[in-house]
């Protein structure tokens, strides 16, 4: 066994995999891909879980990890999941990885890999290839100042000491 995880982590991962199998219960069209995730707090308490609802919710962001993070946030009444651990049945895509980072989740475990996801037709692996600066979006420089002005007004009104 790798020293980065223990029996508890393996048990938690099995819960995530159980959730990933929820899609198999669907009749004709699945709720989404076969991906599930669970979140435990720093004391080892189950916080929330979720599985892919991209098709059911018509929501490309409804990945298992995002579903679990949203549910955990609702349950704990905070976006800040510092100290929590995310277990996901498959290696997180860039969106989920970054969502976890936005939630301050630093410990993330996965079971299947992005290559396994690619083998059943998912694009996670391709998306990682696209992660080069300025590939996704183009800045409209003429509007830069106008957008920043809103940010500065927001900061002046809701000064958060950089804690969001």
Report if residue 90 touches Zn ion, rule: CB under 5 A.
Answer: no
Report if residue 105 touches Zn ion, rule: CB under 5 A.
Answer: no
Kindly determine how many residues on this chain lie close enough to bind Zn ion according to the rule CB under 5 A: 4
Residue 115: what are its φ and ψ, rounded to 5°? -65, -40
CB closer to Zn ion out of 9 and 52: 52
Q: Which position has the token pair 């997180």?
A: 92
Report if residue 96 touches Zn ion, rule: CB under 5 A.
Answer: yes
CA distance linking residue 148 with residue 142, whole number of Å? 12
CB of 140 to Zn ion, least distance (A): 28
Sheet holding 36-40, edge to edge: 46-51, 36-40, 85-90, 107-112
Tell me which of 17, 19, 39, 93 binds Zn ion, using CB under 5 A. 93
Q: What is the DSSP letter of 51?
A: E
Catalytic position from the list 15, 25, 65, 91 = 65
CB closer to Zn ion out of 79 and 154: 79
| Strands 36-40, 85-90: pairing kind | antiparallel
Restricting to residues 43-82, name those near Zn ion by CB under 5 A: 63
Say whether 129 is catalytic. no
CB closer to Zn ion out of 40 and 51: 51
CA distance linking residue 129 with residue 134, whole number of Å? 13
Positions annotated as catalytic residues are: 65
């Amino acid at each position: 066994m790798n020293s980065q995880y223990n029996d508890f982590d393996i048990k938690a991962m099995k819960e995530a995999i159980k959730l990933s199998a929820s899609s198999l219960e669907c009749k004709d069209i699945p709720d989404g891909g076969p991906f599930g995730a669970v979140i435990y707090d720093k004391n080892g308490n189950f916080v929330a879980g979720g599985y892919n609802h991209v098709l059911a919710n018509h929501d490309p962001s409804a990945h298992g990890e995002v579903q679990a993070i949203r549910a955990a946030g609702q349950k704990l009444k905070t976006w800040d999941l510092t100290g929590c651990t995310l277990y996901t049945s498959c290696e997180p895509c860039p969106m989920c990885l970054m969502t976890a980072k936005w939630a301050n989740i630093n410990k993330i475990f996965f079971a299947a890999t992005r290559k396994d996801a690619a083998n059943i037709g998912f694009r996670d692996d391709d998306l990682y290839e696209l992660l080069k600066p300025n590939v996704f979006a183009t800045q409209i420089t003429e509007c830069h100042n106008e957008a920043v002005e809103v940010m500065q007004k927001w900061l002046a009104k809701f000064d958060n000491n950089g804690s969001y």
